[in-house]
Chain A
Amino acid sequence: MATVSRALRLAATGDADAGAMLEITDLSKRYGSVVALDGASFTVAPGRLVGFLGPNGAGKTTTMRCVFGLARPDRGTIAWQGRPIERAQRLRFGYMPEQRGLYPRMKVGDQLSYFAQQHGLPAKAAKAATARWLDGLGLGDRAGAKLEALSHGNQQRVQLGAALVHDPVLLVLDEPFSGLDPLGIATMSDILRERAAAGVAVVFSSHQLDLVEDLCEDVVIINRGRIVVADAIDDLRAASTRRHLEVEVAGNANAWLAGRPDLAVVEQRGDFARLLVPADLDLAAVLATASAAGEVRRFAFQPPTLSELFMEVVRT
């Protein structure tokens, strides 16, 4: 299990960056007898897109709510740029809660402008930012419509707009992809990538691990209130002691595997086999065995996917 935190390494080395990040340290919270957070610590640096993963009830939402003062931790600190978060800093953050919600009968434009002003923008700037973001979200012509008159997908866009309209330096999104159609997922991904590229620290939770693997550089995995992984996805995969090996030997129906009983077969169909092997496996020997059996049409040696790593980590 990879527990070395890339972000922590960053904190130790890059001082300029270290000050500008979200630092969550030793966060603990109980609800009655239920332990929601148990000493969780991780960081999110500017310009990074961090996937925040964990099974249901692991403490993701509680962590996010603590960042916005919606829940008060029993222990631990949350700091931004090295200082404990107060309301003034919080106003520069953007939040998209898991339970979506806006004012149903308020006009879309008025609504975004209102939230922009609540984040500290003067009225004029709020109006301009609203127009800019509505255009950006493809809702430029719906500013005068009441929220409830919009389709579900468009309401989701407005919700994202409410989190973005004040150009936050930290973006926290709880399950931003849930309930989106493929088009919506693409839009959301583009916006998150674009924000991170613009230097915003972005952290979002999701159960769609393939999506996270595509989108994020870093992941934080939380389980039962504890952070079990906080690392760059590539490092995490590389550090894994196991690999997947996919082999296809034409016309052999996987008979060659009989010569290597030490290899664990995950899946086989027809001539195709998917194996779970140690990272230091002697590939040349395996290839030789396979080649002797017939024409090798596929021979792929890959680190495990994020979803496999996730399963490994949360099941232990």
Chain B
Amino acid sequence: MSRRRAIWLVARRELLERGRSRAFLFSLILSVAIIFAGVFLPTLIGNAAEAQHLGIVGSPPAGLVENVRSSAKIAGLTVTIEPVSDVATGDAELLGGSLSAVLVVPPDGSLPSYVVKGRSNPLLQQVVAASFTQPPQITLRQLEPPDPNRDVSFVFANVGVILLFISIFTFGTWVLTGVVEEKQSRVVEVVLSTIEPRDLLIGKVLGIGVLGLVQLVVMVSVGLGAGVATNRFSLPSTTGSAIAMLFVWFILGYAFYSTALGVLGALASRMEEASNASSPISFLAMGGYFFALFVALNDPSGTAARIASFIPPVAPMVVPLRAALGAIEPWEMAGSALVMCAAIWALFVVGGRVYSGAVLQTGARMRLRDAWRAAGRNG
């Protein structure tokens, strides 16, 4: 039997056993809930003002209705506009509550009036007023073309980093616990009587990685779908490449972190020791995450962010963020991906040996150096 089939069998087992587990279902539901909360909570809380209904008596100047609509949208206000036959009808509808405000435009060209029942909605009033008055004729000169998607990109970058961090770390931790479980339950000795230790680790990383991809696909589609469906945002033209970057860097970041965590997991002999053994990697990941959110997000083309793009533990969070903000050169992207691949390969060579040396040892928690030496004897 080929090594490839052995790896495939391991990956398949992880995929089936964990894919059917409550833990995965729970993780999926939780991630969808987080995404929904992110998309809808601002709608529910931020725009507390309810929809406004504006009645118009008489014929408004050309363009006014359009102006009201567009400025209301900018202000995040939902406005419906309907013509009203005369002032008396308007007053009746105001009192009845079916209209929020009535704009009366006298046919003789005299000053229009703005009628409300009691308290006026200040936002609607401002919107109407701003739409009405003729703006002073100021010429606009732009030094740089405006980027209509600047805000959306910023949100994408932000959310992207969070998604990446959650995904990489959730499923990296699964590899860690999977390795410790096999060691603790001693099944690893049975498994390794047929398969090389390195292949077991590769299969485990692959199988759990597929689950991670599934969850990422669900999160991204739910987020984008819900956002577009509820008009929270429209997709900028860079959406496709931003999502592609998200997946590429999930794969790279996951491969890096899950391998490192799996190797450290092999040093622990019981689950209680696992978090202890993995703490160096957890700190690295947290560091990368905070660096991305607090440094790279503010200055995505600054020196710090540029350097960080070539540091493997940090790059998976920083590079997609810079890409989403359009603040990275293509050569930087390619270069950092190459550095990342090299780091993953090196980690597999070194980590694979440590894993081989440690995974069959029982008793006290091992030190890295001892595992490396043990592999020389056993591997």
Residues of A within 8 A of B (CB): 31, 68-72, 74, 87-88, 90-91, 93, 95, 97, 99-106, 110, 114-115, 117-120, 162
Contacts of A115 in B (CB 8 A): 190, 194
**Closest CB in chain A relative to B162 CB, distance in Å:** 31
Given contacts A101-B186, A101-B187, contact A106 B17 (CB under 8 A): yes
Contacts of A106 in B (CB 8 A): 13, 17
B363-379 interface (Cβ within 8 A of A): 377-379
Contacts of B192 in A (CB 8 A): 68-70
B17 touches A103 (CB 8 A): yes
A100 touches B186 (CB 8 A): yes
Q: Name B194's closest neighbour in chain A (CB-CB).
A: A118
A91 touches B377 (CB 8 A): no
Given contacts A72-B377, A99-B362, contact A117 B9 (CB under 8 A): yes
- Contact of A101 (CB < 8 Å), options: B1, B185, B196, B379: B185
Given contacts A114-B9, A118-B9, contact A95 B190 (CB under 8 A): yes
Q: Which one of A100, A106, A118 has the greatest number of beta carbons of chain B within 10 Å?
A: A118
Contacts of A103 in B (CB 8 A): 17, 182, 185, 187
B341-379 interface (Cβ within 8 A of A): 360, 362, 377-379
A120 touches B186 (CB 8 A): no
Contacts of B333 in A (CB 8 A): none
**Closest CB in chain A relative to B53 CB, distance in Å:** 58
21 of the cross-chain contacts (CB-CB < 8 Å) are: A69-B192, A71-B378, A72-B377, A91-B194, A97-B189, A101-B187, A101-B189, A103-B182, A103-B185, A104-B185, A106-B13, A110-B17, A114-B9, A115-B194, A118-B1, A118-B6, A118-B191, A118-B194, A119-B1, A119-B194, A120-B1
Q: Which one of B1, B6, B196, B379 has the greatest number of beta carbons of chain A within 10 Å?
A: B1
Contacts of A31 in B (CB 8 A): 377
Q: Which one of A68, A72, A74, A101 has the greatest number of beta carbons of chain B within 10 Å?
A: A101
Q: Name A114's closest neighbour in chain B (CB-CB).
A: B13
In the docked arrangement, what's the CA distance between A97 and B185, Å? 12
**Closest CB in chain A relative to B348 CB, distance in Å:** 20
Contacts of B17 in A (CB 8 A): 103, 105-106, 110
- Contact of B190 (CB < 8 Å), options: A71, A102, A104, A117: A102
**Closest CB in chain B relative to A2 CB, distance in Å:** 32
Q: Is B193 an interface residue (CB 8 A)?
A: yes
B193 touches A90 (CB 8 A): yes
Residues of B within 8 A of A (CB): 1, 6, 9, 13, 16-17, 21, 182, 185-196, 360, 362, 377-379
**Closest CB in chain A relative to B304 CB, distance in Å:** 45
A102 touches B185 (CB 8 A): yes
- Contact of B189 (CB < 8 Å), options: A70, A88, A93, A118: A70
- Contact of B193 (CB < 8 Å), options: A70, A72, A102: A70
In the docked arrangement, what's the CA distance between A70 and B188, Å? 10
Q: Name A96's closest neighbour in chain B (CB-CB).
A: B190
State the 10 A-B residue pairs at the shortest beta-carbon distance, nearest first. A101-B186, A120-B1, A101-B187, A68-B193, A99-B186, A97-B189, A95-B193, A118-B194, A101-B185, A102-B187
Q: Which one of B13, B21, B182 has the greatest number of beta carbons of chain A within 10 Å?
A: B13
Contacts of A114 in B (CB 8 A): 9, 13
Contacts of A95 in B (CB 8 A): 189-190, 193
In the docked arrangement, what's the CA distance between A68 and B194, Å? 8
A97 touches B190 (CB 8 A): yes
**Given A91-B194, A114-B13, 19 more pairs with CB closer than 8 A:** A68-B192, A70-B360, A71-B377, A71-B378, A90-B193, A95-B189, A95-B190, A97-B189, A99-B186, A101-B186, A102-B187, A103-B182, A103-B185, A106-B13, A106-B17, A110-B17, A115-B194, A118-B194, A118-B195
B360 touches A162 (CB 8 A): no
In the docked arrangement, what's the CA distance between A90 and B6, Å? 14
Q: Name B184's closest neighbour in chain A (CB-CB).
A: A101
Q: Name B8's closest neighbour in chain A (CB-CB).
A: A117
In the docked arrangement, what's the CA distance between A97 and B188, Å? 10
Contacts of A72 in B (CB 8 A): 377-379
A97 touches B1 (CB 8 A): no
Contacts of B6 in A (CB 8 A): 118
B362 touches A90 (CB 8 A): no
**Closest CB in chain A relative to B22 CB, distance in Å:** 10
**Closest CB in chain B relative to A144 CB, distance in Å:** 13
Given contacts A70-B360, A117-B9, A120-B1, contact A99 B189 (CB under 8 A): yes
**Closest CB in chain A relative to B43 CB, distance in Å:** 41
Given contacts A71-B378, A72-B377, A105-B17, contact A97 B194 (CB under 8 A): no
In the docked arrangement, what's the CA distance between A74 and B360, Å? 18
In the docked arrangement, what's the CA distance between A103 and B191, Å? 10
Contacts of B195 in A (CB 8 A): 118
Q: Name B362's closest neighbour in chain A (CB-CB).
A: A99
Q: Name B188's closest neighbour in chain A (CB-CB).
A: A101
A93 touches B193 (CB 8 A): yes
Contacts of B362 in A (CB 8 A): 99
A101 touches B190 (CB 8 A): yes
Contacts of A105 in B (CB 8 A): 17, 21
Q: Which one of A31, A69, A93, A106 has the greatest number of beta carbons of chain B within 10 Å?
A: A69
In the docked arrangement, what's the CA distance between A49 and B16, Å? 39
**Closest CB in chain B relative to A30 CB, distance in Å:** 9
In the docked arrangement, what's the CA distance between A103 and B182, Å? 7
Contacts of B13 in A (CB 8 A): 106, 114
Contacts of A99 in B (CB 8 A): 186, 189, 362
In the docked arrangement, what's the CA distance between A117 and B194, Å? 10
Contacts of B190 in A (CB 8 A): 95, 97, 101-102, 115, 162
Q: Name A107's closest neighbour in chain B (CB-CB).
A: B17
A97 touches B186 (CB 8 A): yes
Q: Name B196's closest neighbour in chain A (CB-CB).
A: A87
